[in-house]
Structure 1
Amino acid sequence: MTDQTPDRYVTFCGIDCDRKADRLLAMLAAHMATSQSRWVGYFDKKLTEKARMGNDNLHFVGSQVNSLYAFFEELGDSAAEELLYDLEQNCC
């Protein structure tokens, strides 16, 4: 009997990292639209750089893990924190 759990060091197949990263960025955008946090300006700048450089959402998440944690923690969004943790552990 073989283990059916995807191994992130071999493949991202079955983990759906891109979809999860897209979902997290949608959560980020929704919060940025309504928050007065100091993080909004920071993420505006970083998202502009992301677009200029042509990086995908998963790359952005991997590059901004600590900042994203701080923002979502500040807002008390445990669902976003859990999704970010999943991405960090399985995709980054």
Structure 2
Amino acid sequence: MQPTAAKADRYISFEGIECDDFARQVVSYIRDCIAEGQNPSDWQAYFERKLVEIAGIGQDELFFVGSQVNYIRELFEHHEHADGLALLDKIEDECC
């Protein structure tokens, strides 16, 4: 019988949870969405500004994602970005 992998629990330890990598991927997905010219979102200009701001002040991407989760969700829903939505749920569940 194969042992089942234990689910990482952020309340015990962040060990084994790739929160920073997840956040970097979400930011990459945001960039992909706002670069898409065919179906611009109402959130496009907002995220263009925010990405410049966080780069300018050196803000942590995980902090950025955690503080913008509802807006990011709307952006991903608009673009029907299933991978982005799944990863955002994972970050909310494991990292925030």
Shorter-chain TM-score: which interval?
0.7 to 0.9
Large movers: runs of 4+ above 4 Å = none
Q: What is the identity, as a one-letter code, of the residue corresponding to 1:22?
A: R
Partner of 2:9: 7
**How many residues align structurally?**
90
CA distance in 2, matches of 1:26, 1:83: 12
Larger Cα Rg: Structure 1 or Structure 2? 2
Q: Which has the higher helix share?
A: 1
Structure 1: give runs of 5+ residues left out of the alignment.
none
The TM-score with structure 1 as length reference comes to 0.87
Q: Return the alpha-carbon distance in structure 2 between the equivalents of residues 4 and 88 of structure 1.
A: 18
State whether structure 2 residue 77 is matched by structure 1 residue 69: no
**Unpaired segments of 5 or more residues in structure 2?**
none
| Correspondence for 1:32 | 34
Distance in 2 of aligned mates of 1:66 and 1:51: 20
Structure 2 counterpart of 1:80, one-letter code: G
What percent of counterpart residues are identical?
A: 39
> 2:51 corresponds to which residue?
47
RMSD: 1.6
- In 2, distance between residues paired with 1:90 and 1:20? 10
Between the aligned partners of 1:45 and 1:75, the Cα distance in structure 2 is 19
Measured in 1, the distance between the counterparts of 2:59 and 2:12 equals 22
